[in-house]
């Protein structure tokens, strides 16, 4: 037959040990209240900020939110905050006799500064600190460092693109100069100024003498006849002119792209859109004293009841 919990017996035991249980209860309340006071646990103040990433170029399959979280966890941002706010001294970590001071300060940093994704696809930055002013300044500075880091990464990428475009422009400029030099040389030596128009002109005036053609096109009379020059060098002239036109068109396209890159390099962008601005807390967020007291009381009373129950069972079995 199953044993049924006897409420009356339980209440009788509680009443029997009421003084002891009351002492345990009062002791748990007093000890936990005093233990969670500023005398033993230094209070911390919270400053939080909620932001959306903006002007971010995607990398791989990561979303802008995931990229932002990765950037915020970067070592250089963490170390900049640690150095700027002297968190070693601020957290009371001995950097002289403690060989693991870097590990300790980084653990404190990770405990007090948390980055989390919200359900609205934004990022919340929470900073806990012994000072409300310091918590506020750290939250603001993290955003500043994030913007600087992202600007640097994008700038490095744009600088590489600028170098490539600049080299392509130089190559096309050289190609243009060579083709232009060839065209000018042929104009000076052979009198080929405009191949198509010159051929069209001669076709309409086929009865003119070579001397008249040469004189009408402004070619030196001592040079070879224009008809022979057009026949022998016309193809080379056309090829050089086409090469010049193509090189000039490519150069103009590359220069337009180069100008856009330079413009982007000179732009000052923010990579965050602040939804909730950080504020100085006027009330501590840690420790939560009522929660500590409640947990302490429940734990102490549970342990006391278990101990009493075991004691009563031991007495009954004798």
Residue 15: per-residue pLDDT: 81
Specify the DSSP element, H or E, that contains 264.
helix 226-266
| 308 to 10, 24, 33, 202, 257: CA distances (angstroms) | 11, 12, 25, 125, 83
75, 79, 80, 83: CA torsion to nearest 10: 180
Residue 79: per-residue pLDDT: 94
Residue 145: per-residue pLDDT: 94
- Kindly report the pTM of this predicted structure: 0.63
pLDDT digits (tens, 9 = 90+) for 175-187: 888 887 776 776 6
Alpha-carbon distance of 153 to 149, in angstroms, equals 6
Other residues' Cβ atoms within 10 Å of the Cβ of residue 33: 14
Q: Where do the domains of the chain lie?
A: 1-41+287-318, 158-266
Three-state DSSP class for residue 99: coil
Alpha-carbon distance of 98 to 200, in angstroms, equals 93
Task: Of 287, 291, 292, 293, give the one whose Cα is nearest residue 44.
Answer: 287
Q: Is the per-residue pLDDT at 213 higher than 50?
A: no
Q: Is the per-residue pLDDT at 208 higher than 60?
A: no
Alpha-carbon distance of 59 to 273, in angstroms, equals 20
Specify the DSSP element, H or E, that contains 164.
helix 132-190
Joined tokens for residue 109: 């940093």
Which residues, including other chains, have CB under 8 Å from residue 170's CB and lie 6 or more apart? none
pLDDT digits (tens, 9 = 90+) for 158-206: 888 889 999 999 998 888 888 877 767 766 565 555 555 555 555 555 5
Residue 302: per-residue pLDDT: 87
The angle formed by the CA atoms of residues 63, 68 and 73, to the nearest 5 degrees, is 130
The angle formed by the CA atoms of residues 277, 281 and 287, to the nearest 5 degrees, is 125
pLDDT band at residue 216, thresholds of 50, 70 and 90?
A: very low
pLDDT band at residue 144, thresholds of 50, 70 and 90?
A: very high
Alpha-carbon distance of 22 to 18, in angstroms, equals 6
pLDDT digits (tens, 9 = 90+) for 241-290: 777 788 888 999 999 998 888 887 787 778 888 888 888 877 777 667 77
Three-state DSSP class for residue 123: strand
């Amino acid at each position: 037959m199953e044993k049924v919990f006897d409420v009356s017996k339980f209440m009788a035991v509680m009443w029997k040990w009421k003084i002891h249980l009351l002492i345990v209860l009062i002791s748990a309340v007093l000890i936990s209240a005093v233990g969670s006071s500023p005398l033993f646990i230094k209070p911390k103040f919270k400053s939080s900020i909620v932001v959306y990433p903006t002007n971010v170029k995607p990398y791989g399959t990561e979303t802008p939110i995931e990229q932002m979280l990765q950037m915020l966890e970067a070592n250089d941002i963490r170390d900049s905050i640690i150095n700027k706010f002297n968190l070693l001294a601020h957290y009371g970590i001995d950097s002289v006799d403690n060989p693991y001071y870097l590990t300790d300060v980084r653990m404190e940093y990770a405990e007090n500064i948390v980055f989390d994704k919200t359900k609205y696809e934004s990022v919340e930055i929470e900073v806990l600190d012994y000072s409300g002013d310091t918590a506020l300044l750290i939250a603001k500075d993290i955003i500043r460092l994030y913007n600087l880091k992202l600007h640097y990464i994008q700038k490095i990428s744009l600088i590489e693109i600028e170098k490539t475009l600049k080299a392509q422009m130089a190559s096309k400029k050289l190609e243009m100069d060579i083709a232009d030099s060839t065209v000018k040389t042929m104009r000076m030596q052979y009198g080929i100024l405009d191949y198509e128009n010159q051929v069209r002109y001669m076709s309409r005036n086929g009865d003119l003498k070579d001397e008249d053609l040469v004189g009408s096109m402004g070619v030196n009379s001592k040079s070879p006849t224009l008809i022979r020059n057009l026949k022998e060098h016309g193809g080379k002239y056309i090829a050089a002119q086409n090469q010049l036109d193509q090189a000039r068109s490519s150069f103009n396209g590359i220069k337009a792209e180069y100008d856009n890159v330079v413009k982007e390099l000179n732009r000052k962008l923010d990579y965050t859109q602040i939804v909730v601005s950080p504020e100085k807390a006027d009330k501590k967020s840690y420790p939560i004293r009522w929660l500590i007291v409640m947990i302490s009381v429940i734990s102490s009373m549970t342990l006391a009841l278990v101990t009493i129950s075991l004691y009563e069972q031991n007495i009954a079995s004798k």
